[in-house]
């Protein structure tokens, strides 16, 4: 099956399938004309990777899981450990995003809006001393964590 048909069948973009081929994750064979041709097991692997990516696994994790899937003598504990590690990462990101949400919600409630030039959100973004109970290191770490959580969320949505 050619790459365009594989894309339709798997829900992956042609670009993603080519990328997975280029990095050696799932490789189609080249026919005499030089086109990538994918067999049933390749399509199955691409569907598996697609499902893993939908769950937020990294490409490295996808490669590991795909290798474990293909290994009849695999140890289920290895799969569980990899998934538990990913779950811990997801829970950490959720926590960071909840903190980010609370901070943004607080800013929005401070702002009265309207036609006036004064904006509590701008003031809040301009001053780091909004949380007087935090030390400078705590605020810096929290702000970096919130920034990272928001950036990671946006970066994953771009992929």
What digits encode the pLDDT tens for the residues 17-66?
Answer: 999 999 999 999 999 998 889 999 999 999 999 999 999 999 999 999 99
**pLDDT-derived band of residue 9, with 50, 70 and 90 as boundaries?**
very high
Q: How far apart are CA 26 and CA 19, in angstroms?
A: 9
Contact assessment for residue 120 and residue 107, using Cβ atoms and an 8 Å cutoff: yes
Q: What CA dihedral angle connects 107, 108, 114 and 118, to 10 degrees?
A: 0
Within 8 A by CB and 6+ apart from 106, the residues are none
Nearest alpha carbon to residue 82 among 100, 98, 69, 96: 69
SS3 of 135, please? coil
Average pLDDT over residues 92-115: 95
User: 26 Cβ partners below 8 Å, 6+ apart?
Assistant: 17, 20, 42, 45, 46, 49, 66
Q: 149: buried, middle or exposed (CB in 10 Å: 19+, 13-18, 0-12)?
A: buried
Cα 67–Cα 85–Cα 144 angle in degrees, nearest 5: 125
Residue 131 has pLDDT above 70, yes or no: no
The proportion of the chain whose per-residue pLDDT surpasses 90, expressed as a percent, equals 74
Distance from C-alpha of 76 to C-alpha of 65, rounded to nearest angstrom: 11
Q: Between 127 and 19, where is the model more confident?
A: 19
Closest CA to 123 of 112, 137, 134, 135: 112
Q: What is the CA radius of gyration of the chain?
A: 23
pLDDT at 76 over 70: yes
Q: Looking at the predicted structure, is the pLDDT value of residue 91 above 90?
A: yes
């Amino acid at each position: 099956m050619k790459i365009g048909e594989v894309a339709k069948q798997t829900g992956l973009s042609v670009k993603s399938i080519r990328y997975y081929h280029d990095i050696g994750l799932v490789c189609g064979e080249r026919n005499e004309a030089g086109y990538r041709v994918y067999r049933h097991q390749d399509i199955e692997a691409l569907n598996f990777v697609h499902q893993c990516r939908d769950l937020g696994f990294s490409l490295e994790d996808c490669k590991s899981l795909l290798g474990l899937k293909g290994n009849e003598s695999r140890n289920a504990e290895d799969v569980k450990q990899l998934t538990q590690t990913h779950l811990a990462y997801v829970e950490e990101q959720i926590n960071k995003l909840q903190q980010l949400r609370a901070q943004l919600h607080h800013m929005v409630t401070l702002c009265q809006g309207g036609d006036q030039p004064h904006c509590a959100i701008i003031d809040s973004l301009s001053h780091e001393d909004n949380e007087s109970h935090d030390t400078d290191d705590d605020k810096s770490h929290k702000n970096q964590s919130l920034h990272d959580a928001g950036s990671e969320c946006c970066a994953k949505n771009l992929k």
